[in-house]
């Protein structure tokens, strides 16, 4: 037979896809953590500045 009914070997593409997806998710979580830390710092500065205006 010239053409055999063998499934394509795509396991490497699946692994690469999962690696990319998890990499993007990790970058997003890190971005959220950095933003949260920055917002907490700004909130603390605002609360401390509010004490001076009372």
Rounded to two decimals, the pTM is 0.71
Compute CA distances 25 → 2, 3, 21, 31, whole Å: 44, 40, 6, 10
Give the pLDDT of the chain (54 residues) as one tens digit per residue.
566 777 788 999 999 999 999 999 999 999 999 999 999 999 999 988 877 766
Residue 29 tokens read as 């979580």
Residue 12 tokens read as 């490497």
Q: Of 2, 3, 20, 22, which Cα lies nearest the Cα of 12?
A: 20
């Amino acid at each position: 037979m010239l053409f055999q009914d063998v499934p394509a070997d795509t396991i490497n593409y699946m692994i690469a896809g999962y690696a990319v997806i998890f990499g993007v998710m990790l970058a997003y979580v890190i971005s959220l953590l950095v933003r949260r830390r920055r917002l907490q710092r700004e909130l603390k500065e605002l609360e401390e500045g509010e004490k001076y205006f009372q």
